[in-house]
Structure 1
Amino acid sequence: MTSSEVATAIDWAAAEGWNPGLHDAETFYQTDPSGFYGAEIDGELAGTFSIVKYSDAFAFGGLYILNPKLRGQGFGLQMQQYALNLAGSVNLGIDGVFAMQDRYRQVGFIYAYRNIRYAGTGGGSAPSTLVPIDQVPFDDVVAYDAAHFPAPRSRFLQYFLLQQDATALAAVDKGGMRGYGVIRQCRVGHKIGPLFADSAAVAEDLFNGLAASVPGEEIFLDVPEPNSQAVSLASAHQMVPVFGTARMYTRSIPALPLDEIYGVSTFELG
């Protein structure tokens, strides 16, 4: 798909209730311009999906949407099989809605864990210990991020961290980075993600700093359920669960430090 067609896919995602970021079309497309696909019927866009490749070994799939008028006719299965063929031997990750989990298992996806979306309200004050992400050497950010994601993703970070209508903060001490987080404006409210931190205390500081940037606004945090401290963080800030996905992979479950992942970057790109 072209960048304008990706914008259409993001609009479809909004219609599905997925609440994309205001600038997701641009930042997602720039991550891998060859990673977005559309299905056409009689010259009209009928469905979309993405397979964004981060390395020769890992990719993430998303934006799997079929025009509601065309569902139940087998077109979705054709798109799914085409996507799996494109992925080939690459380990493909997805965040699938719970209702589709069994279907994904049937075509070979391995269940890893659940991500739960929590909703709350921004506000409070930002800790003075945090710094804007652009004050940290970019290579340091890429290296820290790569320790919390299945592959390095410098191109994604290049566009995602400095997008408009967003705030990105880092926790740094004499030993280097201890965590970082991003909050971006969405069609409804603001999403925090990623939120990676060495400890619950650092995660708390980052959450407070990001929430403080949008006082009184609705905020969302997508929490890996196995991280009990992340669940506790959301609960302590009076956030309530509103949605969820099943994280799944086609080849193997990456060995990630889930206890340091307090917020998923995006359900579409991992």
Structure 2
Amino acid sequence: MSKENYQIRPMNKEEVELAVNWAADEGWNPGINDAHSYYLADPTGFLIGLVDDEPVAVISAIKYNKEFGFIGFYIVKPQFRGKGYGFALWQAAMTYLNGCNVGLDGVVDQQSNYRKSGFELAYRNVRYEGAFSSALEMEDTQPSTLVSPAFNLQQIQDYEQPFFPAQRNRFNEQWRMQSNAHALAISTEDKIQGYGVIRACKNGYKIGPLYADTVQCAKSLVVSLIAKVATHDEVAKVYLDVPECNPQAVALAESLGMSVVFETARMYTKEAPKLPLERTFGVASFEIG
């Protein structure tokens, strides 16, 4: 690595789109409108490495607050790998998050490398894939349950808050409002019992986040979200990223005929945050948590 020609700096808003496109090239299948939402999570948390002004490496180091951060989008252009550019960028990202409990969703066989930076395994996240028409059956859902795109913003913010270690309302609001996305809440007697978002990706659609008080509520949301994008004439490919430590979430995905296509190792540098994983049926993003 030539230190004289290598520069590391924060990305601008347009360069975050470059990181998303690189992730698509790696087969990570990001959402087609994710970049703006990610940028809002931390406008100074996306770093880029350049050799003679050519982008060669990217990483996200989202600092949600002084206690918690999340690493993602760690990509080096293939022709520049093995030259030290990626590791230098990694070090810059970890320096930016110094003092935080840092989380990541890493490739499972790279766990030993992440441990060298202080990360320890908490659990696995598993990506399920399924192909659906709109004719999904609604058995086992509660007939009295209302699934609606209309909801009170403060109620949704209050409902979402326990599922993440830090407040990220700006990201959440943009996430549910992005183009080619649908957000639904589930409620009974004016009480929110679940919430989910489906968005268009480079390939098909992803459901995430998916939070629900019961597996029946989760299934109602999944069926209703898929109905937003699938028709009888066109089958929709849908992905759901499930915490493997929630057996009800795993069972739900499998009951819908979905199959495993990918998995990650959710790791933290400090103790794993205490989150209601038993009510987490779908992860919002492998890239920023």
Q: TM-score range by the shorter chain?
A: over 0.9
TM-score (norm 1): 0.96
Structure 1: how far apart are the matches of 2:86 and 2:110?
12
* Equivalent position of 1:136 in the other structure: 151
* Equivalent position of 1:100 in the other structure: 110
The range that moved more, 166-175 or 246-255, is 166-175
CA contact (8 A) 1:142 1:152 kept: no
- Map residues 168-247 of structure 1 onto 2, 5 A cutoff: 168-174=183-189, 176-215=191-230, 216-247=235-266
Matched, 1:256 2:267: no
Give 1:220's aligned amino acid.
Y
Structure 2: how far apart are the matches of 1:124 and 1:89?
49
Q: SS at the partner of 1:213? A: helix
**Pairwise CA distance, 1:31:** 2.2
Percent same amino acid at aligned positions? 44
Q: SS at the partner of 1:164? A: coil
Q: SS at the partner of 2:55? A: strand
Structure 2: how far apart are the matches of 1:32 and 1:107?
22
Matched, 1:124 2:139: no
**Pairwise CA distance, 1:175:** 5.4
- CA RMSD, 1 decimal: 1.4
Which ranges of structure 1 fall in alignment gaps of 5 or more residues?
Answer: none
* Equivalent position of 2:72 in the other structure: 62
CA contact (8 A) 1:91 1:250 kept: yes
**Cα offsets for 1:157-196 (capped at 9, x unmatched):** 1200111101110011225211100000000000000000
Q: SS at the partner of 1:161? A: helix
Structure 1: how far apart are the matches of 2:83 and 2:168?
37
Matched, 1:22 2:32: yes
**Cα offsets for 1:7-59 (capped at 9, x unmatched):** 11111000000001010111111222111110111111110111122222111
Give 2:86's aligned amino acid.
G
* Equivalent position of 2:5 in the other structure: none
TM-score (norm 2): 0.90
Q: SS at the partner of 2:229? A: coil
* Equivalent position of 1:79 in the other structure: 89
Q: SS at the partner of 1:147? A: helix
Structure 1: how far apart are the matches of 2:249 and 2:169?
25
Runs of 4+ in 1 over 6 A off after TM superposition: none
* Equivalent position of 1:153 in the other structure: 168
Structure index of larger Rg: 2
* Equivalent position of 2:122 in the other structure: 112
Q: SS at the partner of 1:94? A: strand
**Pairwise CA distance, 1:91:** 1.1
Structure 1: how far apart are the matches of 2:97 and 2:63?
9
CA contact (8 A) 1:60 1:269 kept: yes
Structure 1: how far apart are the matches of 2:211 and 2:90?
31
* Equivalent position of 2:286 in the other structure: 267
CA contact (8 A) 2:33 2:179 kept: yes
Give 1:196's aligned amino acid.
Y
Give 2:217's aligned amino acid.
V
